[in-house]
Structure 1
Amino acid sequence: MALVYLGTDFHDTPLSELEKFESASAEVLNALNPNDSVLEGVVVLATCNRFEIYFEAESFHDSMDYVTSVVASSLGVPSDEVASMLKVLYGDSVPQHLFSVASGLESMIVGEEEISGQVKRSLTQAHQRGFVSKNLNHLFQNAASVAKAVTTETGLGASGRSVITTALDVASEELGGITGKSVLLIGTGAYSRVVTAAIQRAGVDNIFVYSRAGRAEKFSENHDTTPVNKDQLVQVMAEVDLVISASGAKGYAIDETLAQEVLAHRSGKSDLVLIDVSLSKDVAPAVSQLNRMSVIDLDQIRHRAPQEHIDSVLTAREIIHTAVTNFENSMASRSIDPVVAALRSHIGLWVDEEIESVRRKSGNSAAEEVQKSLRKVTNAILHAPSVKAKELAVDGNHEDYINAVRLLFNIEVNDRG
């Protein structure tokens, strides 16, 4: 069995294209059902910054062709186009990448706090469908442990830094501070909850919420915000200091016509700052060209994000390097487990036959005493071979052990993965 990564992120793919992958992620995951495909297991990680598929399969080439075709079908584009956009990793490059992602080293904002939770949720979603193999589960559980270790030992991720907190830092420079300002949030989805919490931590109490889908009132019931309906939208935008759009719905939430209308009602107030953290762009490009409108989008946030201290990043990479080595050793050790289990089972049959023979000749009491003794002897005899088997597996020499077991005990083990 092999663990394989197929994916892309903001480094290689424009955010507008990533949005298409993210929108299709649930469909892709469902279509990659391991119960009805060449895959043994699959997990899909899709965020505003990346689209990644981690899977386990017996045949590398067959599985690659299959996964690529499924993604292409979900997007409605040719397979060769998808193949040209997605990067492939296998071997120890897979844990190396996932551990780096979960630790925030591959994020748009280095040390981003949200990514480790997103990695955990992707595993949970695959688990809920029964799509996770043992090795994939082992990989993602290790990623969670590595992310925690990086945060604890380097401080990366502990500061609560994220795309929205960085955007607020940029907006604060333009507004002369955020505390005490009034904010309109457009959108009530999952990310809007993250945005609301970040705004409140920044000292903003006067928060309005507008939803194009009409969910503002329900959202405000649990988030200490004031709902805004469509008729109130222009007036509220004309009065607030900052607008944050995170709706993710199709079409622009703020187009040039709306922006012009807001400006007509905004006499005597400072320039309106707009933060657009929607992957598909909620603010029309033309709006940024208007006087008295300042738009901060994901591309600007990426370029203006502060860099983490180099020592922390280097320490994090050392932690990840060690974790990858340990993971690979663990995987090699696990690969020999079926052989060790087969050997124990084989010897166990001899023990059981001897116990039954004693039971027939001398009764249950004598058989129980013999059973205790033989179990102890069996464990003692097999301890050293079991330890040696795992050592050989880690060193890549487990075939010698398997051949020895086959020769000495006439045991065939077909599934060693």
Structure 2
Amino acid sequence: MLICLTASHKNAGFDMLERLSVTADAAGPRLREGHPSVQGAVVVATCNRFEAYLDLDAADGDSPVAAVHEAIRSVGAVAGLEPEELRSTFGFVHGNAVAGHLFAVASGLESVVVGEGEIAGQVRRSLERARTEGTTTPDLERLFQRASQISRRVKNETGIGNEGRSVVRLALELAESRITDWAATRVLLVGTGRFAGASLAALRDRGVTDVRVYSPSGRAAKFAANHGIDAVGSHEVAAAAAASDVIVTCTTAEHHVVDRSLLESGRAGFEASAAGAWAAARSDGAGTAGTAARPLGLVADPAETPVERQLVIDLGLPRNVAPDVVEVPGVELLDLETIRIHAPLEEFGATDAARAIVGGAARAFGEAREEHDIAPAVVALRRHVFDLLDGEIERARARGDADGRTEEALRHMAGVLLHTPMVRSRELARAGEQQAWIDGIAAIFGVAPEADSAARASGARDTLRDDARERHA
């Protein structure tokens, strides 16, 4: 049985999502060990979502309550949250609905910005992490691999992701009212990961040319060289922050990298350090105003002062920016919680088309999985019939079936007899009534799937899966 525990921007507060995200790496192994029925776990954690996908060793009709409660306790223990708080927040998805939910998530249909592109990569990396941790299972592998395929199909067949929509671009759209001229805007980018690359691309699309990068982990120089911008060292970051019109943060650091004291220290030492360094640079012939030779973190003219109005955009989770930055005069903070409130409405045409693709794929996945469940019984029935057939063919040969006509007739009859049971097996599996078919062949033929039939059933499973794909291609 597949189940999903989900907390997102739709049902959880930002503080809870932040706590869950910080501890996500430790959640998978803890979930796997939490209850004996949990065979596997894959955790998806993003800036607006925490989800645990579990594979339980239980039939779809069995109650998963005990395993769910233990999973919630495990997540709470890792994140330092009370189980009661999580129980009242987490959404619960089970059975065939799990595929539909994950396919929608991976396609960006459940994101703050519908159709945003980052989520597909985050879902893929979640599976990769589970593989590394040894917490995935064949069913979870199939589920997540299919989710990646569906997200690509949605992107290719609908217009939902063609505009490159993302939280980064939405943040810059919200900043438009504060920026009069992007081309003249000085930006300090804090972070060097995937979000930093997306942020830099979005800034350049708006005409920004003056971007510097700082990395708390020391990766700024490499990022700067790869992207043709200047790097800022730890001893320069306060001055660089004070001289920037916009600060964009997107690191995975678990502490605040920008706070009130950083901005205030940068402003306090700005004029003296800028004037002294600029005078030294001019006297050494190091460059002129507006050239790349000016000292990092300094404006072009020593007579200038720190910018009077600054916009700080915090895209990090956990938060990269301390709330106290708004106490600095002229500083405005735009964080993920604020961005989420202003997310645009869905574009209904593209979204409806995307949801149709997701719904059809989820139904096909569910049917194929249900047919997998019945496959051992199918193998047992076919083995029973063909064992009888082989015995009758041997007797026919012993009685002188020289031309093989009797054998041919017997094989034809066996195929005809099996046709209707095979069709009914698929129909009942799709209706969730596979046990009725299993009970029926046991009552009529005395046939039951063997305990070790999983390996023998692999061929039948492949056939059933291929049949399902052909029917839904």
Q: TM-score, normalised by structure 2?
A: 0.76
* 1:318 Cα deviation after fit: 3.4
* 1:146 Cα deviation after fit: 3.4
Q: Equivalents in 2 of 1:202, 1:349: separation in Å?
A: 73
Q: Equivalents in 2 of 1:185, 1:9: separation in Å?
A: 27
* 1:183 Cα deviation after fit: 2.0
Between stretches 16-25 and 373-382, larger displacement belongs to 373-382
* 1:179 Cα deviation after fit: 4.2
Alpha-carbon contact 2:325-2:331 (below 8 Å) kept: yes
**Higher Cα Rg, which structure:** 2
* 1:281 Cα deviation after fit: 2.2
Q: Equivalents in 2 of 1:214, 1:3: separation in Å?
A: 41
Match of 1:213 among 189, 212, 217: 217
Q: Equivalents in 2 of 1:335, 1:203: separation in Å?
A: 56
Q: Equivalents in 2 of 1:105, 1:348: separation in Å?
A: 49
Q: What do residues 171-225 of structure 1 show as CA deviations (whole Å, max 9, x unaligned)? A: 2332224346432111234433333343344444433111223232233343433
Match of 1:413 in 2: 449
Output the aligned Cα RMSD.
3.4
Match of 2:300 in 1: none
Q: Equivalents in 1 of 2:199, 2:406: separation in Å?
A: 67
Q: Equivalents in 2 of 1:31, 1:267: separation in Å?
A: 52
1:139 aligns with 2:143: yes
Between stretches 225-234 and 325-334, larger displacement belongs to 325-334
Alpha-carbon contact 1:185-1:210 (below 8 Å) kept: yes
Q: Equivalents in 2 of 1:88, 1:124: separation in Å?
A: 24
Q: What do residues 49-103 of structure 1 show as CA deviations (whole Å, max 9, x unaligned)? A: 1110111211512321331222122123443333233222223432332222222
1:323 aligns with 2:322: no
Match of 1:388 among 424, 427, 432: 424
Q: TM-score, normalised by structure 1?
A: 0.85
Match of 1:33 in 2: 32
* 1:120 Cα deviation after fit: 1.9
Between stretches 344-353 and 401-410, larger displacement belongs to 344-353
Q: Equivalents in 1 of 2:39, 2:409: separation in Å?
A: 41
Q: Equivalents in 1 of 2:113, 2:438: separation in Å?
A: 48
Alpha-carbon contact 2:21-2:318 (below 8 Å) kept: no
Between stretches 23-32 and 289-298, larger displacement belongs to 289-298
Pick closer, same or farther for the CA change 1:263–1:388 going to 2, 3 Å. Answer: same
Q: What do residues 354-393 of structure 1 show as CA deviations (whole Å, max 9, x unaligned)? A: 789999x9xxxx9x99999988876665344323310122
Q: Equivalents in 1 of 2:306, 2:257: separation in Å?
A: 25
Pick closer, same or farther for the CA change 1:295–1:199 going to 2, 3 Å. Answer: same
1:169 aligns with 2:168: no
Q: What do residues 136-164 of structure 1 show as CA deviations (whole Å, max 9, x unaligned)? A: 33333343343334333431122111111
Trace 1:11-22 onto structure 2 (pairs within 5 A). Answer: 11-22=10-21
Match of 2:125 among 121, 126, 149: 121
Q: Equivalents in 1 of 2:366, 2:253: separation in Å?
A: 42
Q: What do residues 275-334 of structure 1 show as CA deviations (whole Å, max 9, x unaligned)? A: 111123222222224332222111221223332323333333333333333333333333
1:82 aligns with 2:86: yes
Match of 1:282 in 2: 320
Match of 2:48 in 1: 49
Match of 1:108 among 92, 96, 112: 112
Counterpart secondary structure, 1:33: helix
Alpha-carbon contact 1:15-1:279 (below 8 Å) kept: no
Q: Equivalents in 2 of 1:35, 1:272: separation in Å?
A: 47
Counterpart secondary structure, 2:248: strand
Unpaired segments ≥5 residues, structure 1: none
Alpha-carbon contact 1:15-1:280 (below 8 Å) kept: no
Match of 2:375 in 1: 337
* Pairs aligned (count): 411
Between stretches 272-281 and 199-208, larger displacement belongs to 199-208
Q: Equivalents in 2 of 1:379, 1:121: separation in Å?
A: 46
Pick closer, same or farther for the CA change 1:24–1:358 going to 2, 3 Å. Answer: farther
Pick closer, same or farther for the CA change 1:167–1:385 going to 2, 3 Å. Answer: same
Alpha-carbon contact 1:252-1:282 (below 8 Å) kept: yes
Pick closer, same or farther for the CA change 1:350–1:74 going to 2, 3 Å. Answer: same
1:178 aligns with 2:202: no
Unpaired segments ≥5 residues, structure 2: 271-303, 455-473
